[in-house]
Structure 1
């Protein structure tokens, strides 16, 4: 991984945590993700006018990925509804690189070395710590945790699919533009059906914030897709999850969520594990 790739993925991590925070801040999650998806759809449609059309070989991956992205957003909506941002975000994001490591080995034949396997073990320990120490009361919020874990599995699935698809597309910009178009239709269409005549009034107070979040989501994932054309999938997935620390800080600073010493230690373990997963020697 070159310095340029590393910087791109770190920027993607910061941008990703930020748009997730915007999505969480809008309490009506259907309104929130309608705007996020709609913003991504608009940016994708505009970008598609100026970038190459993806090669035919990439379209099966694009269609599968779009379905996985919609599933991911629905699960993320559910986890944000059930739990606190400072807990749900680290669990969802921390699960993903662990699963991507396995999927990349099985389907892309990118076999992890000993350091990377140690990183998986350490990150798993941190993930368990973040999950077990709940933010509300002394007992874990299992429905929220299960939703966040399922979100992480969806992230890992589309990351692996896109890692192959973008390499076959001939244009990472064309791939991200059409992915945003395909995935951006479903949730706004559902919201339009569900809320009918009320939707426009419900969207209006949050329109600017939500559309900015949607544009940020395109930038965040576009940087990751570009990086996936230049480096193996598992290290990129691992580095991308440095957003865990950004998400934890946002939860504590902006949402006033308690982030005590046990969770700080657990999040630290996750970051150490992810760092080990970046080890290539």
Structure 2
């Protein structure tokens, strides 16, 4: 994995961890997704216009089709994950999604994009995925609706894998600018979630009154995190990027222990160290 690709992914991980901490503090739902998506569309509009005017990207049927597809895939991921969380099995849904996502992404990259995975890369990716799984709680027995929770977790992981490979093809082969790819996703969520936002407008005003800074931070860093990943995918194989992205989960969990006082700091540092070993193997693979 190149230094440039690793740098972009690590910067994306910091951005991802930052906006996830604020999401957790606000504890919103679909109305929060709509709010920060609207603000993201406004913040990144000048850059989107600049790219269209200066770079003059091609918007043929394939490019437009893939941009519409990413709207559906990302929205499906958000909605399915939220449905899984409402089952009160967060400790199973979240680690299942985060573990299966990069595993399936790498598998799809090999089968669909023809990427080659060495034994060292596979070992490093496996260590990262296992460490993230344990870091987020592992598979706890006795959880209610075990099969349903696993279904939601694996389903969310399928969406992660699908939009990762889908977007990688769009930015690396069809040459859709990464910022425009993510911009389309945000704009699509604004349109689709508008009816939900209208019904929950009172709750949105509460979020804005009490968490204005947090909402703006999410709106800035959520797109930036994925835009950096998309730029990395323009010259770095999915088999490298997908597992490396899990560093963001490690940072988020550690931030929860330190900033939100969730506890288990030393145990989480231990699993984070094991994930770092996997990262080194992956980078040198």
TM value normalised by structure 2? 0.81
Contact 1:191 1:199 in 2 (8 A): no
Secondary structure class of the residue paired with 1:24: helix
Q: Partner of 2:242 in structure 1? A: 237
Which of 181, 203, 206 is the matching residue for 1:202?
206
Cα deviation, residue 49, structure 1:
1.6
Q: Partner of 1:176 in structure 2? A: 182
Aligned CA distance change for structure 1 residues 139 and 261 (closer, same or farther; 3 Å)? farther
Contact 1:45 1:181 in 2 (8 A): no
Cα deviation, residue 216, structure 1:
0.5
* Structure 1 residues not aligned, in runs of 5+: none
Alignment deviations for residues 124-154 of structure 1 (CA, whole Å, 9 cap, x no partner): 54355344365xxx84564666544433332
Does 37-46 or 239-248 show the bigger shift?
37-46
Cα deviation, residue 63, structure 1:
1.1
Say whether 1:163 aligns with 2:134.
no
Structure 1 runs of 4+ with >6 Å offset: none
Q: Distance in 2 between matches of 1:191 and 1:202?
A: 16
Aligned CA distance change for structure 1 residues 185 and 41 (closer, same or farther; 3 Å)? farther
Q: Distance in 1 between matches of 2:3 and 2:284?
A: 14
Aligned CA distance change for structure 1 residues 148 and 37 (closer, same or farther; 3 Å)? farther
Aligned CA distance change for structure 1 residues 252 and 90 (closer, same or farther; 3 Å)? farther
Contact 1:126 1:270 in 2 (8 A): yes
Q: Distance in 2 between matches of 1:117 and 1:162?
A: 22
Contact 1:41 1:185 in 2 (8 A): no
Q: Partner of 1:251 in structure 2? A: 256
Alignment deviations for residues 237-280 of structure 1 (CA, whole Å, 9 cap, x no partner): 12221112201111112232233666555554444445434443
Alignment deviations for residues 131-188 of structure 1 (CA, whole Å, 9 cap, x no partner): 4365xxx84564666544433332221111000011213533333333332334323x
Q: Distance in 1 between matches of 2:100 and 2:218?
A: 23
Q: Partner of 1:16 in structure 2? A: 16
Secondary structure class of the residue paired with 1:169: coil
TM value normalised by structure 1? 0.82
Contact 2:22 2:218 in 1 (8 A): yes
Does 246-255 or 259-268 show the bigger shift?
259-268
Q: Distance in 2 between matches of 1:221 and 1:117?
A: 23
Secondary structure class of the residue paired with 1:7: helix
Contact 1:166 1:172 in 2 (8 A): yes
Contact 2:75 2:189 in 1 (8 A): yes
Secondary structure class of the residue paired with 1:49: helix
Say whether 1:74 aligns with 2:58.
no
Q: Distance in 2 between matches of 1:15 and 1:198?
A: 29
Does 70-79 or 239-248 show the bigger shift?
70-79
Alignment deviations for residues 85-127 of structure 1 (CA, whole Å, 9 cap, x no partner): 9x87655434322111101011100021111222344345435
Q: Partner of 2:35 in structure 1? A: 35
Say whether 1:192 aligns with 2:197.
yes
Q: Distance in 2 between matches of 1:12 and 1:120?
A: 18
Aligned CA distance change for structure 1 residues 192 and 177 (closer, same or farther; 3 Å)? closer
Contact 1:37 1:184 in 2 (8 A): yes
Does 105-114 or 52-61 show the bigger shift?
52-61
